[in-house]
Amino acid sequence: MVELIAKKRDGKELTKPELKHIVDGFVAGKIPDYQMSAFLMALYFNGMKPKETATFTELMMRSGDVIDLSSIKGIKVDKHSTGGVGDKTTLILAPLVAAAGVPVAKMTGRGLGHTGGTIDKLEAIKGMSVEMSKKKFIARLKKIGIAVCGQNEKLVPADKQIYALRDVTGTVKENSLIASSIMSKKLACGADAIVIDIKVGDGAFMKNLKEATQLGREMQAIGKQMGRKVIGVCTSMDQPLGRSVGNAIEVKEAIETLKGNGPADLTALCYQLGAQMLLLSYKTKTIDKAKAILKDLIDSGKAFEKFKQLVKEQGGDVNFVENPDKLPISKHSVDVLSPKSGYVTDLKAFGVGLTSVKLGAGRETKASVIDPGAGIYLHKKIGEQVKKGEPLATMYTQNKKAIKKAKELLLNAYTIKSTKPRKKKLILKIID
Ligand code: URA
């Protein structure tokens, strides 16, 4: 291992047997954390060549169960987001695309740092579980055309262990590591085609479009080597997506969106990503036709029905979905009032994400227990006018001690000026 650390430190390319020694050795507990940390730091500075990244990805993918979906007819699609604030897209997109007859095989994660996670959101629905065996995952896909599972000890354990170490050694933000981490999980779940929502901006890992494009290309290259189609959609994460940030509160907004009453940005993103998924599955040939199919599925109620089917199938109480007021949103709320009149010119996603963690919607430490009812409703977003003393946002929490700090963080995330800002683009680039 010392020789391999030095080889990467000197910027050289590692062979498959060398990478296998590292991945298998670390998962088996034969390589200690301090050596793996040194290796990751060497890799952080020197990156990996495309072939090396693909090999590293495949080795991680094969470190646990690999799901074979070939017994299911049609092109199976998956979607992944690199992580954002208020990003409840999966809750809408997965049932929406499944309602179009395209099997959606989805592995999803928990919140990381200031970003939320789909598992935490889904678990706000009483009884809902993302834990399932490989057999059950396939059976559900066959039965209702959609299954959403969480990463467990059996699925890509190498990524689980390496990610935990990256998280505490300052080695998360390197493109070949991010690309291999995401793609190993996507490939292990067996989908034929994958749409990656690459978040760009203040609340995302990728701070600009150039970095995001490079990441998209790396993931496409891995997909190509492994015989899967990958489309990257770079989207803005300068401000949170939609108006709700948290868990139960985001489920409520997702339900509204599935019924056609969601916020414009979230709805537009779901149509864009969903249309890419339909194109990848050859359901239709143009983006406009794909969007029309999706709109029809929302208007007819079929997408919402598919969501209810998913919740029921995975143990959730459909009552909570049919009556979203029953969702456990905290009864204790505090308005954050605007200190002046003007237009919101900036609303930093990172600051809003931190506020929601402070309120209890995310984890401050690995051991933290999430409060599903905690969260934020943003009355005002970029471009909207506000009067002095009017609520900018409402915070929900059971932790009264957190309110003072949370209010401070949230007010810092807002910038209010006297002139209306130019409209910002949500969809920045498609990497096809
Ligand atoms: N999400 C992942 O799954 N892995 C990374 O490395 C970064 C974001």
pLDDT digits (tens, 9 = 90+) for 184-217: 999 999 999 999 999 999 889 899 999 999 999 9
Same domain, 254 and 402: no
3-state secondary structure of 385: strand
Same domain, 175 and 110: yes
Is any ligand 1 atom within 6 A of the Cβ of residue 90?
Answer: no
Same domain, 118 and 262: yes
Tokens representing residue 318 in the block: 């459909």
CATH code for the domain in which residue 141 is found: 3.40.1030.10
Final residue of a structural domain among 301, 322, 343: 322
Same domain, 114 and 202: yes
Q: Is the separation of the CB atoms in 297 and 96 below 8 Å? A: yes
Is any ligand 1 atom within 6 A of the Cβ of residue 175?
Answer: no
Q: Is the separation of the CB atoms in 230 and 223 below 8 Å? A: yes
Same domain, 215 and 81: yes
Range of the domain at 356: 329-417
Per the rule left: phi > 0, alpha: psi between -120 and 50, beta: everything else, 161 is: alpha
Query: pLDDT at position 202, please?
Result: 86
Please check the confidence at residue 107 and state whether its pLDDT lies above 90.
no
Please check the confidence at residue 323 and state whether its pLDDT lies above 70.
yes
Please report, rounded to a whole number, the percentage of residues in the chain having pLDDT higher than 90.
Answer: 88
Final residue of a structural domain among 279, 302, 322: 322
If you search the block for the tokens 């590692």, which residue do you land on? 14
DSSP symbol at 206: B
Task: State in Å: Cα 159 to ligand 1 middle.
Answer: 9
DSSP symbol at 112: B
Average pLDDT (24-28) is 97
Q: Hey, what's the torsion of the CAs at 20, 26, 30, 33, to 10 degrees?
A: 140
Please enumerate in sequence order all residues whose Cβ is within 8 A of that of 364, keeping only pairs 6 or more positions apart, or say none. 357, 358
Query: pLDDT at position 147, please?
Result: 95
Atom of ligand 1 at shortest distance to CA of 172?
A: 6
Single-letter residue type at 133:
S
Average pLDDT (97-110) is 92
The beta strands (E) that lie in 252-390 are given as 333-337, 342-347, 375-378, 385-386
Final residue of a structural domain among 322, 343, 375: 322
Q: Give the pLDDT confidence of 239-260 residue by residue, as tens digits.
A: 999 999 999 999 999 999 999 9
Query: pLDDT at position 363, please?
Result: 82
Report the domain count for the chain: 3
Whole-structure pTM value: 0.93
Determine phi and psi for 269, rounding to 5 degrees.
-65, -40
Query: pLDDT at position 366, please?
Result: 66
Flag whether 71 is in a domain: no
Same domain, 339 and 305: no
Q: Give the pLDDT confidence of 344-388 residue by residue, as tens digits.
A: 999 999 999 999 999 999 887 767 788 999 999 999 999 999 999
Same domain, 225 and 140: yes
Same domain, 208 and 353: no
Same domain, 298 and 234: yes
pLDDT band at residue 109 using 50, 70 and 90 as cut-offs: confident
Taking all residues of the chain, what is their mean pLDDT, rounded to a whole number?
A: 94
Give the closest residue (by CA) to ligand 1 atom 7: 178
Task: State in Å: Cα 48 to ligand 1 middle.
Answer: 16
End-to-end, the C-alpha distance of the chain in Å comes to 38
Same domain, 15 and 33: yes
Task: State in Å: Cα 293 to ligand 1 middle.
Answer: 31
Same domain, 91 and 235: yes
Flag whether 84 is in a domain: yes
Query: pLDDT at position 369, please?
Result: 85
Same domain, 281 and 333: no
Give the closest residue (by CA) to ligand 1 atom 6: 178
